[in-house]
Structure 1
């Protein structure tokens, strides 16, 4: 297959107006974003609030490590979904069925408690005349996962990005995740999974397509 590179314009006045804001560009950084030193000082404050001495040898370097970890875990704030799905391929033959990438593992953080939630995403779409590299679908999941999220919002954002950029016949996404804010605090129910789904186009219009999608996910799983 021959690669087709079609950069998507990201300026608000460009023809990409049809793309949602969260699809066409990375979030704008805060005007008064704290410095690294201020962030490290905030971690020291939290260490002290927990009852620990921030000057103790064992946690002396913790503020630096936490800030570095934040840069990695929340790198999605610097990444643009439209860029991830920018490179597509022309189909050499007609293909009239959905493409499914199952069991995409991810890690994210709940925006309510800033605690991790993690699990698997299952992403399917029915291409028209543009297909995207399979790894790009996993990359798209990571872009949205590496931000403060709710599982419901993340599911909808992934569907919207694929629908608006690739313009397929249909899109389906299911996410299954365990939330630490439910597993290790509050009701403390480890192992409980939250399942969210979102359908667009042919998947939303045809219940049989939804059944095929869900069956394909469950087949082979143990």
Structure 2
């Protein structure tokens, strides 16, 4: 663990007017540095490492959808969390991706300082790159602490982003099928 990160958290406490030596804060710089390293461990991962050969031959050419993949990320503007769900679909062309790998791709990009718009595109492009799918669709719905805890303080706001590639972009029917599959049933 880098002593620099720990030292910076100590400086933040001092900058806030706190005493980093008081009982409740004595180990906070170390804990905060460890937490930040964990929350940003996506920087230490690569797509190749995540996939690890989990592409399988398949004659399936119908939509594969994984919905409600929970995600936790940090807004690059305020370093505050945003929390939500990703819905990912692709249309295979000869190979399918191991199911857990879709969630791992989401996590790898979410565990970096991020904005939701970029996160959505990174996931879609990564799935496209590894599967060579006929199309990829990603929708993310998330709540942002930077909007809830500060600024306008809107507690019930949800941001939705989508990226449609290939068949999902070209075919309104394909796009509608995906959106219908991920729609909430209330």
Deviations 1:160-200 (A, max 9, x none): 11111210110000000000000000000012100000001
1:52 to 14, 18, 21: 18
**Which position in structure 2 is the counterpart of 1:110?**
75
Does structure 2 conserve the Cα–Cα contact (< 8 Å) formed by 1:163 and 1:170? Answer: yes
Runs of 4+ in 1 over 2 A off after TM superposition: none
Task: Kindly report which structure 2 residues correspond to 1:55-94, keeping only aligned pairs within 5 A, or say none.
Answer: 55-85=21-51, 86-91=53-58, 94=59
Deviation of the 1:114 alpha carbon: 0.6
**Which position in structure 2 is the counterpart of 1:205?**
170
Does structure 2 conserve the Cα–Cα contact (< 8 Å) formed by 1:82 and 1:161? Answer: no
Distance 1:108 1:172 in 2: 20
TM-score by length of structure 1 reads 0.81
SS at match of 1:57: coil
Q: Does 1:169 align with 2:134?
A: yes
Distance 1:83 1:65 in 2: 28
**Which position in structure 2 is the counterpart of 1:190?**
155
TM-score by length of structure 2 reads 0.96
Task: Kindly report which structure 2 residues correspond to 1:126-141, keeping only aligned pairs within 5 A, or say none.
Answer: 126-141=91-106
